Copies of this chain bind each other. A is one copy, B any other.
Amino acid sequence: MMEFCTLGTGGTLPIPERALSSLYVRVNGRSLLIDCGEGTQVGIRKLGWGFRCLDGMLLTHYHGDHCTGIAGLLLSLEKAGRDEPFHIWGPRGLKRVVEGLCVIVPPLSFAVHLHEMPAEGGEIELIGLKIRAFPVNHGGIPCFGYRMFLPRGAVFDPEKAKALEVPMADWKRLQQGETVRIGGRRVTPSDVTGAERKGITLVFSTDTRPCETLDKYCADADLLILEGMYGTEEKMPQALKNHHMLYREAAEIARKTQPGGLLLTHFSTSIEDPEEYIPETRTIFERTWAAKDGETVTLRYPEGSEKAWTSLS
């Protein structure tokens, strides 16, 4: 399964109820962050899922609301006793931004590895996730969305094991991924497993106008986390000017790409209550929710044609 927490759901500026953009993703006890606005380190402390298990961070772009928390996060990682390297991925400019923000960070107890990605994005492997960074349209600046895929191993098939005359005493080793020798033969785990099972796909992309790459990488996901920067049609001039999306536009992407659910985040400070526009948005895509700061969601492996989405209460 995959768990996540929307640490901060505010866009542009923080308000008391909405810290700036940050998503905490946890798989099998290890975790990553996407973006790190002001308030991220204290959000992690509130959440209680820990700093030590954070192996890296993916940055969408370098506007202040997505990266003002980086120096504080690194200081918190150090205080948590980190000594393993910490990895940061992001578009062009990563080195300049992190080095600038870290002017106040003394030499750390761990290495920080910066992975600056080209305009077309790229592939990342972290905490067992296969991640695709893809470019979106936030005006002239480089900005990425991230599609995260958690694969699920194929299940052990006792009938295949029996057919290959594997003694039951060896089943456990095969289930744990070992190859065993039966007399003169080698039996590998893939000899005794069924078909690959469906994994979990989570897409996170804020700060973009609707665009082709977004449609492409949102296809067939279990859950989309997209921006609900503005709630009403009157805000379209701002959405166009600032390269953001309306709730309606995010829902139209979900209608096209049919994920299990759509979770909106990155709300403008002009939105007092992010729930207000949800009923109307559901007329476009029914399984839509508005995220809250500190809310946690569990995505369980889907069975059959289901999506790995546990609807929010």
Q: Which residues of A contact B (CB under 8 A)?
A: 12-16, 19, 38-39, 41-42, 45-46, 62-65, 67-69, 71-72, 75-76, 79, 96-97, 99-105
Contact = CB atoms under 8 A, between A and B. Distances in A.
26 contacts: A13-B41, A13-B75, A14-B41, A15-B42, A15-B45, A16-B45, A16-B46, A38-B38, A38-B41, A38-B42, A38-B69, A39-B42, A64-B71, A64-B104, A64-B105, A67-B104, A97-B103, A97-B104, A99-B100, A100-B101, A100-B102, A100-B103, A100-B104, A101-B101, A101-B103, A101-B104
User: How many of these chains are in the complex?
Assistant: 2
A23 B247 CA distance: 38
Contact of A79 (B12, B16, B101): B12
Please indicate which of the listed interface residues A19, A46, A75 has the most CB atoms of chain B within 10 Å of its own CB: A75
Nearest to A17: B42
Please indicate which of the listed interface residues A12, A39, A69 has the most CB atoms of chain B within 10 Å of its own CB: A39
Contacts of A103: 96-97, 99-101
A38 to B, nearest CB: 5
A103 B67 CA distance: 11
B14 A42 contact: yes
Nearest to A63: B104
A75 B79 contact: no
Contacts of A101: 71, 100-101, 103-104
Nearest to A43: B16
A102 to B, nearest CB: 8
Given A67-B104, A71-B101, 7 more contacts: A14-B72, A19-B42, A38-B68, A62-B104, A64-B72, A99-B100, A100-B104
A67 B104 CA distance: 8
A38 B39 CA distance: 7
Please indicate which of the listed interface residues A14, A39, A42, A76 has the most CB atoms of chain B within 10 Å of its own CB: A42
Contacts of A102: 100
A77 to B, nearest CB: 11
A207 to B, nearest CB: 14
A86 B42 CA distance: 28
Contacts of A104: 62-64, 67-68, 97, 100-101
